[in-house]
Amino acid sequence: MHWLLRLSLWGRVKLLSPVYAAEIKGLPQFDVTHFTSEVFWTVISFLFLLFILQRFVLPRIYRVLDQRVSKIRDELSEAELIREESVIVLETYQSELRGLENEAQKILEEARSKAVCFHDDAIKKIEAELKQKKLLFRGEMEFAKEQALEEVRSLSVEIAMDVTEKLMINTLNQSDIEKEVESAIKELNDRKN
């Protein structure tokens, strides 16, 4: 490395010397006499730069790139594992959800059937109660009817007896009989009230 620096300094000193400056007739980079040496040193400098890059810089860059690649691969494999786990978890949740939906459907159907049974039982109970009340009402109505008939019979017997009694006592004509019957009916109505 020191020799390159010396060489570089020697070239500058040579360019700055007045003797060498008198020899140059134009731009030094276009002087054909120096092309071979300039190309040689450019190639040497370039090869030296490549050597330095190859020996010191590129291995570090490769190491950093390899570390990044391995880190990315690790992260990708971890992400793939997480994705697989999430797919498994999603499938289990979906199967549990389907199971819960089926269970909810069964519960709903069971509740509907219970509601239908309860509704049918309630209707049957109400119909039975109505039948009992209807029978009871019919019985009471029959009893009331029989009582009314009995009262009508007893009243008609009383009226007939009153009318007969009065007829036996006096002989009455048709208009008197009708008046007596009407007065007897009024008497019975007054007794009821």
Which of these three, 70, 89, 108, is where a domain ends?
89
Residue 11 pLDDT: 53
Residue 183 belongs to a domain: yes
Tokens 């008497």 belong to which residue? 187
Query: Can you read off the two tokens belonging to residue 150?
Result: 């009995």
Asked whether residue 6 falls in the same domain as residue 84, the answer is yes
3-state helix, strand, coil in the chain (%, to 5): 95, 0, 5
Write out the residue range of the structural domain in which residue 73 sits. 2-89
Asked if the structure places residue 76 within a domain, the reply is yes
Give tens-digit pLDDT for 133-167: 888 888 888 888 888 878 877 777 777 777 677 66
Domain count, the chain: 2
Residue 180 burial by CB count (10 A; 0-12/13-18/19+): exposed, middle or buried?
Answer: middle
User: Does some domain include residue 130?
Assistant: no
Indicate the residue among 44, 67, 89 that finishes a domain: 89
Output the pLDDT for position 66.
Answer: 95
Q: Are 181 and 163 in contact (CB under 8 A)?
A: yes
Please compute the mean of the pLDDT values over residues 75-92 and round it to a whole number: 94
d(CA 83, CA 70): 19
For 170, which DSSP code? S
The pLDDT value given to residue 8: 54
**What confidence category does residue 51 fall into, taking pLDDT thresholds of 50, 70 and 90?**
very high
